[in-house]
Structure formats: C-alpha cells, structure tokens
Amino acid sequence: MELTIMERILTTGILKAKEGNFATLKALRTARQALEIDEEDHRAAEMEQNYNCPKCGWTGYFPIGAQPRCAFCATPLAAGTQLKWDPTAPPREMPLGEIATAIIAGHLRDLDRAGKLTDDLLSLYEKVADGG
C-alpha cells in the first residue's frame, strides 16, 4: 500500500511494540526495514533536521546529513532529533507483507474499539483497517 512519511513513522511505531513467534518477528523486521526513511525520501520530501549551536544556542533546520556551522559564531552545529519535511510529498508503495499488514490493522481496530484512535492515525486506519 502507498504510505506517506508520517504514516510510515506511525506504522513503524506500531510494529516495534509487538511480540510474537519467529515467523511473525521476521515479518515485522522485514516490514520495518521497508518502512525506513531513506535518501530517496530525503530528496523527494526535502527533509530537514534541526541543528543547534553548542556554544551560543542558535538553532536552525538543514538538510539531513549536512554539517552546518552556526550562523553567528561559526561553531559546528550539533544535530537534533526533530525532522521536518514537505507533507505533500507523494506517498510511496510499501511492501509490508500479509502478516505485518494484519498486525497493523488489528492494532488500529483495537484502538478504534477502545475509543483510543488519534487524529494522526485516521488516514492510516482508512488505508489499512477500514471495512475489516
């Protein structure tokens, strides 16, 4: 199925928390690898990461993998953990396999039944779990 970057990040989170038998765990690992954000995503979605200056505290966003320097004191910046990207970047086909897809769908339906779906999961629910 075709997933956006945000849907892939959310899906990876769902798949991380699961336990199971050998075949299930192998299937989940394969699916997580398929979901990983790669250089094609960096380019296609113009992904950027936050960096901050350890000396003066200045912060800014730069392309992932850049080695920027502070605009004020020229100190090499330290990479942070925040990412941003173009949310209109086209979704990519993700070969998740039957086992992983069923686990994602089951997890989302559990949240739905418990009244615990969140807004950011709506589009994923519609793609994976709706009608099942």
Q: How many residues bind Zn ion (CB under 5 A)?
A: 8
Residue 64 CB, nearest distance to Zn ion (Å)? 20
Residue 56 CB, nearest distance to Zn ion (Å)? 3
Alpha carbon 111 to its chain's center: 19
- Closer to Zn ion at the Cβ: 27 or 53? 53
- Closer to Zn ion at the Cβ: 56 or 122? 56
- Closer to Zn ion at the Cβ: 73 or 122? 73
Does 77 contact Zn ion by CB under 5 A? no
Identified binder of Zn ion from the candidate list 70, 103, 124, 129, rule CB under 5 A? 70
Q: What is the DSSP string of 78-117?
A: EEEEEEE--TTSPPEE----HHHHHHHHHHHHHHHHTT--
CA distance 78 to 67: 8
Within positions 7 to 66, which residues make up the interface with Zn ion, using CB under 5 A?
53, 55-56, 58
For residue 71, count other CB atoms closer than 10 A to its CB. Answer: 11
Residue 78 CB, nearest distance to Zn ion (Å)? 11
Question: In sequence order, what are the beta bridge partners of 78?
Answer: 52
Task: Indicate the helix (H) or strand (E) that contains 61.
Answer: strand 59-63
Interface residues toward Zn ion, by CB under 5 A: 53, 55-56, 58, 70, 72-73, 75
